[in-house]
Chains A and B, each alone.
Chain A
Amino acid sequence: MAAVLTRDIVKKFGDVSAVNGISLTVPDGQFMVLLGPSGCGKTTFLRVICGLEKQTSGDLLIGGKVVNDIPPRARGVAMMFQSYGLYPHFSVRRNIAFPLRTQRVPGAEVDKKVAWASQLLGIDHLLDRRPRQLSGGERQRVALARALVREPTALLLDEPLSNLDAKLRASARQEIKQFQQRVGVTTIYVTHDQVEAMGMGDRIAVIDSGRVRQVGSPAEIYEDPADRFVATFVGAPPMNIVARNSGYLGFRPENFLPKDMMEDGSFTEFSFRVDRSEYLGSERIVYGVIAGFDPNQVITAKLPPAHVAEESIRPGEWHPFAVRNSALRHFDKDGQRSSGH
C-alpha cells in the first residue's frame, strides 16, 4: 500500500493554477524528492498533502485513507518547515512534546517518546534550552525530532537546507539521508537544488508549471530525461541542446570530447571553436560554438583534468570534437523525447 497517493491534484488561487493535475505515488519508506524551479508549484503541492491548503480538485490518500477533507492533525503527516517553525516560547523539550500533548498522550508515554526522539537526533543535552539559544544545525535537529515523535505515516520537508550556508549544507544532507534510512519513514522532500535531489532521492519527481515532467530514479532522470526541461534542469553545466531536423539534439558536456578521445564505437563529429575555457581544478569547462549550428548558441564541454590535449585546445581555433552516439538524446519539436536520428 502506498504511503501517499495523489490523483490529479489541482490547486488554483483565483485564476492561477499553482498545481495543474499531479498524480503521484510514494511507496512506503521511500525518499521522494520533488524537484523544480521557484514557483513551479512543488511547495503548494506539499502543503496540499500536508493539509495546510485544500486542493481545488483531485484526491489525496494517506496510508490508504482518503483525507481530502480531514485537517492536518488527523492525516498522520509531520512537516518540517523552511525556517523550522520552532515554538520560540517553549523549551526544546516542550517543542518536541507538543505534538504528543495535543493528542492527549499520557505523561509517562510523552516523556518516553521525547527521550527516544531526542536521543535519535543527538540533542538530548539541549532539552532545556530555548530555540533562540541553538545553532542552525541544532534547530534543524529539534525540528526533525518534533516531526518524528509522532511516528507519522509521511514526513514532509520544505526546502530545509536553503537557510544553511553552503558548507553546512553538505553535512546536513548527509545527516538527513542517513537518518531517514535508519528510521525508514516515508519522506517527501521539496527542493530547487538538483544536487540535493540527485544526492538524496530514491526517486525524483521533476515538476514545472504545476505538472510532473518525469518521475524516476536519479539515474533515470539523468540518463533518460523525458523532455527538454528535465534534460536541461538536471546536470551542471546543463545539457547542450541544438536544433536539428525539425527537432532537437542533446548531449551532456561531459560527453562532448575531443575526437581523439573517442574509443571504438559510433560517434558523431562536430567542428568546435573554443572561445573561452575555465580551469576548475577537478575539471576544465570549455565554451564555444559548433560549426553548422546557431552561431550565437554557446556550447559547453567538460574535459577531465589530466587531458593530454590541454595545450592544444586554444581559443579561436577549430577543433574536431565528437559525441558517442549512445550519449546523444533526441527530442521532437515539442521537446519530448523521441528516438529519432
Chain B
Amino acid sequence: MPRAISSAIREIPFFGAVAFFVILSAFPFYWMLITSFKTNSDLYSVTHVPFWFSDTPTLEHFRYLFEQTLFARWLLNSFIIGLCVVAITLVTALPAGYSLARMTGGKGEALGIGIFLTYLVPPTLLFLPLSRVVAELGLQNSMWSLVLVYPTFTIPFCTWLSMGFFKALPPEIEEAAIVDGCSLFGAFIKMAIPLSLPGILTVVIFTFTLTLQEFVYALTFVSTSSEKPITLGVATDLIRGDIFYWGEIMAGALLASIPVAIAYNLFLDRFISGITGGAVK
C-alpha cells in the first residue's frame, strides 16, 4: 500500500479523537451561535432540523437585546466593576507580590502560599455573612457591593501570580538602582514595575475575566435588574413571566463570552507558566 495512504489511515483515529474533543467542547457554543441567529418560529419547532437554519438568519434577537432589555446597561455595569476591581487589585496585590518575592528565607514562600489558599475559601460559605455586611453598609442591590467583595478572591490570586513574575526579575537591577540613589520604593516603581509589564498585563486581564465569570456573589447581592453585571443579567433576567427568551439569552451569552474566550486564548501560555512556576518547583 502506498506510503501516503497508509499513513493517512493511521492518522484517522488520531484526527477522529481530536474531532471528538472539539465537538464535545465546542458544540454548545455552536448551538449558542446558531440559536442567536434563528428566528423564533425556526427555533421553537420540533420538526425543523436544529443544526442549521430553516428560515433565513436574523438579527432580531440582537436588536431586541439592545433595544428592549437592560443588556447594554449590564455591559456597562460589568465594565465599571471590572475596572474598579482591577484598580483595587493592582494597588494591593502588586506591592504584596513584590514584597513576598524579595523576602529572604522561606518566609516569603510560606506567606505566599498562605495568601493563595484564601483563594480556595468558597463563596458559598462566605456569601451569607457578606450579605449581612453588605446590608449594613447600605450596598445591597447595588453593583458597588460587588466592587467591594470581588477583591477578596482577586487579591490572593493576583498576589501569587505577581510573586511569580517578580521572582523572575534579577535582583541586581534593583540593587544597582538602590546604590545609584533610589529608595527601596523608588526601585520598585522605576525598575521592577516597568520591567514586569507583560506580567502586570496578565494580572489585569485575569482579574477582569475573574470578575466577569463570577456568579454566586452577584446572585446573592444584586436583585435589581439595572444593577446586575452581564453574566447574572443574561442568565437570570431575560425571562418574562415564565417564558425564557432563548434567542435573546443565547445572543447575550454569545456576546458576553467572546471577549473572555479571546482573552483566555491570548494569555493561556502566561497563565500556564504562572501555575507551574508557582505551584511546582
Q: Do A and B come from one complex?
A: yes
Chain A contact residues, CB within 8 Å of chain B: 14, 50-52, 71-73, 77-79, 81-83, 85-89, 98-99, 101-103, 146, 150
B224 near A: Cβ within 8 Å? no
Chain B residues lying within 8 Å of A71, measured Cβ to Cβ, are 178, 183
Whether B178 pairs with A52 at a CB distance below 8 angstroms is yes
Residue of A nearest to B182 (CB): A102
The 5 A-B residue pairs whose C-beta atoms are closest, nearest first, are A102-B181, A85-B176, A99-B180, A85-B172, A73-B181
Residue of B nearest to A14 (CB): B105
Chain B residues lying within 8 Å of A82, measured Cβ to Cβ, are 172
Known: A83-B172, A85-B172. A50 touches B177 (CB 8 A): no
Chain A residues lying within 8 Å of B177, measured Cβ to Cβ, are 87, 98
Chain A residues lying within 8 Å of B195, measured Cβ to Cβ, are 88-89
Known: A83-B170, A88-B195, A102-B186. A52 touches B175 (CB 8 A): yes
Q: Is the interface of B mostly helix, strand, loop or mixed?
A: helix
Whether A81 pairs with B172 at a CB distance below 8 angstroms is yes
Chain A residues lying within 8 Å of B129, measured Cβ to Cβ, are none
Whether A79 pairs with B176 at a CB distance below 8 angstroms is yes
Q: Compute how far the CA of A83 lies from the CA of B170 in the bound complex, rounded to whole angstroms.
A: 10
Q: Compute how far the CA of A98 lies from the CA of B179 in the bound complex, rounded to whole angstroms.
A: 11
B191 near A: Cβ within 8 Å? yes
Beyond the given pairs A73-B178, A73-B183, 5 more chain A to chain B contacts, judged by CB atoms under 8 angstroms and listed by A's residue number, are A52-B178, A77-B179, A87-B176, A102-B186, A150-B180
Q: Compute how far the CA of A78 lies from the CA of B180 in the bound complex, rounded to whole angstroms.
A: 7
Chain A residues lying within 8 Å of B194, measured Cβ to Cβ, are 89
Q: Compute how far the CA of A51 lies from the CA of B176 in the bound complex, rounded to whole angstroms.
A: 11
Whether A50 pairs with B179 at a CB distance below 8 angstroms is yes
Q: Compute how far the CA of A83 lies from the CA of B172 in the bound complex, rounded to whole angstroms.
A: 8
Residue of B nearest to A82 (CB): B172
**A196 nearest CB across to chain B (Å):** 21
Residue of A nearest to B194 (CB): A89
Chain A residues lying within 8 Å of B180, measured Cβ to Cβ, are 73, 78, 98-99, 102, 146, 150
* Binary A-proximity of B51-71 (CB < 8 A = 1, otherwise 0): 000000000000000000000
Residue of A nearest to B173 (CB): A85
**B195 nearest CB across to chain A (Å):** 6
* Binary A-proximity of B186-210 (CB < 8 A = 1, otherwise 0): 1000010011000000000000000
Residue of B nearest to A98 (CB): B180
Chain B residues lying within 8 Å of A85, measured Cβ to Cβ, are 170, 172-173, 175-176
**B108 nearest CB across to chain A (Å):** 15
CB under 8 Å from chain A, chain B span 136-152: none
Q: 26 interchain pairs (CB within 8 A)?
A: A14-B105, A50-B179, A51-B179, A52-B175, A52-B179, A72-B179, A73-B179, A78-B179, A79-B179, A81-B175, A81-B176, A83-B170, A83-B172, A85-B170, A85-B172, A85-B175, A85-B176, A86-B176, A87-B173, A87-B176, A88-B173, A98-B177, A98-B180, A99-B181, A102-B181, A146-B180
**A156 nearest CB across to chain B (Å):** 8
Q: Compute how far the CA of A102 lies from the CA of B183 in the bound complex, rounded to whole angstroms.
A: 9
Give the residue among A73, A78, A85 with the most B Cβ atoms within 10 A: A85
Chain A residues lying within 8 Å of B175, measured Cβ to Cβ, are 52, 79, 81, 85
Chain B residues lying within 8 Å of A101, measured Cβ to Cβ, are 181
Q: Compute how far the CA of A219 lies from the CA of B177 in the bound complex, rounded to whole angstroms.
A: 38
Partner of B182 from A50, A73, A79, A88 at Cβ < 8 Å: A73
**A216 nearest CB across to chain B (Å):** 29
Residue of B nearest to A72 (CB): B179
Residue of A nearest to B184 (CB): A71
Q: Compute how far the CA of A287 lies from the CA of B93 in the bound complex, rounded to whole angstroms.
A: 63
**B227 nearest CB across to chain A (Å):** 42
Q: Compute how far the CA of A99 lies from the CA of B176 in the bound complex, rounded to whole angstroms.
A: 10
Q: Compute how far the CA of A77 lies from the CA of B181 in the bound complex, rounded to whole angstroms.
A: 10
Residue of B nearest to A103 (CB): B181
Give the residue among A14, A50, A87 with the most B Cβ atoms within 10 A: A87
CB under 8 Å from chain A, chain B span 112-134: none
**A193 nearest CB across to chain B (Å):** 20
**A246 nearest CB across to chain B (Å):** 45
**A249 nearest CB across to chain B (Å):** 45
**A69 nearest CB across to chain B (Å):** 15
**B279 nearest CB across to chain A (Å):** 27
Chain A residues lying within 8 Å of B105, measured Cβ to Cβ, are 14
